[in-house]
Structure 1
């Protein structure tokens, strides 16, 4: 069975304009309005209320809202752990990408898990390289144990996922200073060009082979909708030219979601404020909803 965890968290992003908070906070409710929850027909729906938006820049870490992110991550970890322990598949609806921190923290407390990270950016960055101080652009690094102790070692669990168990796929921001950290890490990195050269399905196969060979307890899937081509999904905070088609994404998700070790999926960054008539949200639900609905019951 699938259990939905609504995580309407937006403190990992900066204001899109002065005095306006990021609209991703509305995503779980926007998806529900357009029939996503009815399509999935979950066993249960959990809502983890997020704190009020703030632009506070933590002087200790150089990350906005670091304390609030850590506190929210702790609550996320508790809910996710219970869902997984009960044998359900978790579907977490963000929110911004910093919700990865709490989800991977929760899995770390249960065992040894992998991470298939689908994103138009690497999100593998330290605060000193960030121009915004937003944790949503650093969440993969934090989950892998890189960055300020306050966020990387909650409850003494650093790292939440080992780099050798991470596949990061779909980045199309090719600036050398930006991609150097992830290239120098132990993460298996497939930017958009390499992903297409190797083939999306082949990339997933190498990940799943690792999951079995390493005898992992399961794996998590991160799906930032900005991995999609900007022409079909422009309702994101940091658009980049190009991106994957729904068909290419489906090739990966079909293999991932049907695997016996699949544990859960998080969906992030679709901003209802940038999709006022719901056109792009409905297209997203039409393409992705059926894949999630077909997740096998163990």
Structure 2
């Protein structure tokens, strides 16, 4: 029997304002998924919330990252809860929030003293650092930060960086295909699969390759980072940086099913869905229903290796 919990991490500190005076609404996702009864539908009974600092547009002069000190402090709090869960063999489902919550999750895994992999599903690869960012937002740098690229204020919290080694990371779903942007990640050791590569190779081959890598590398497990903008904009338009195309829900489910069912699966986070962009709640409700259906078999102990 596998034990699951939900950790609410409603941080929007990694994003710039939607427009002057309007903070990002991603912090409302935990509340929105409570209303859709995600936990009940998935069969999860334990829910906690890690409160976040007030939103700010401040750019840290030392690191060049917006709200760097607040994000670092919040990451330590989130990491403590993730570490406690993982050490008790509880699988946390962390509801964000923006992608900067990946920092705290990865830090929590690393603080156990073990090595983990990361399967990062995202419509952007988020492998960049301040000099390449047009927003100074940590959300767009999250993958680079957890891999140790950037200022130590975020990449080396507690002298534990890198939190996840590049060779243990799969970046899956990018469809921002500008050559300079893509080169940042293709020059790294990360296993990179953009949307055209997924369509060419197929979801099953890529996820099977990832799970094989986890086993062969002798890792203690892996985390899934799920930015909902990996989904096709037609089925998930409630995001801050929409792009044409994306995964269908069927492709999304085919990707996640073997990952969640794996005995190596140690947790996941969900980010970027902004309920304030979903006036009639239809997209949030559909997402919640599909996520609950994916989680339910694992929560009920119907998983495999």
User: Aligning the two structures, in what range does the TM-score lie when normalised by the shorter sequence?
Assistant: over 0.9
1:22 lines up with 2:24 in the alignment? yes
> Normalised by the size of structure 2, how large is the TM-score?
0.96
Deviation at 1:43, TM superposition (A): 3.5
In the other structure, the counterpart of 1:101 is 103
Correspondent of 1:250 among 253, 269, 272: 253
Q: 1:21-42: per-residue Cα shift (whole Å, max 9, x none)?
A: 0000000010111121221232
In the other structure, the counterpart of 1:263 is 266
Deviation at 1:295, TM superposition (A): 1.3
3-state SS in 1 of match to 2:298: coil
C-alpha distance in structure 2 between counterparts of 1:27 and 1:209, whole Å: 33
Q: 1:231-263: per-residue Cα shift (whole Å, max 9, x none)?
A: 000000000000000000101111000000000
**Paired residues, what number?**
298
> Normalised by the size of structure 1, how large is the TM-score?
0.98
C-alpha distance in structure 1 between counterparts of 2:214 and 2:129, whole Å: 27
In the other structure, the counterpart of 1:73 is 75
3-state SS in 2 of match to 1:91: strand
Correspondent of 1:127 among 121, 125, 130: 130
In the other structure, the counterpart of 1:90 is 92
C-alpha distance in structure 1 between counterparts of 2:267 and 2:212, whole Å: 18
Which 4+ stretches in 1 moved above 6 angstroms?
none
3-state SS in 2 of match to 1:230: coil
Structure 1: runs of 5+ lacking an equivalent:
none
C-alpha distance in structure 1 between counterparts of 2:121 and 2:72, whole Å: 23
Q: Is the 8 A contact 2:39 2:292 kept in 1?
A: no
In the other structure, the counterpart of 1:220 is 223
Answer with 286-295 or 155-164: which moved more.
286-295
In the other structure, the counterpart of 2:191 is 188
C-alpha distance in structure 2 between counterparts of 1:32 and 1:247, whole Å: 24
3-state SS in 2 of match to 1:138: helix
3-state SS in 2 of match to 1:260: coil
In the other structure, the counterpart of 1:278 is 281
1:292 lines up with 2:292 in the alignment? no
Deviation at 1:79, TM superposition (A): 0.5
1:241 lines up with 2:260 in the alignment? no
Q: How large is the Cα RMSD of the aligned pairs?
A: 0.9
C-alpha distance in structure 2 between counterparts of 1:281 and 1:135, whole Å: 24
Deviation at 1:177, TM superposition (A): 1.2
Q: 1:37-69: per-residue Cα shift (whole Å, max 9, x none)?
A: 221232411100001100001111110000000
Deviation at 1:109, TM superposition (A): 1.4
Residues 143-162 of structure 1: matches in 2 within 5 Å?
143-162=146-165
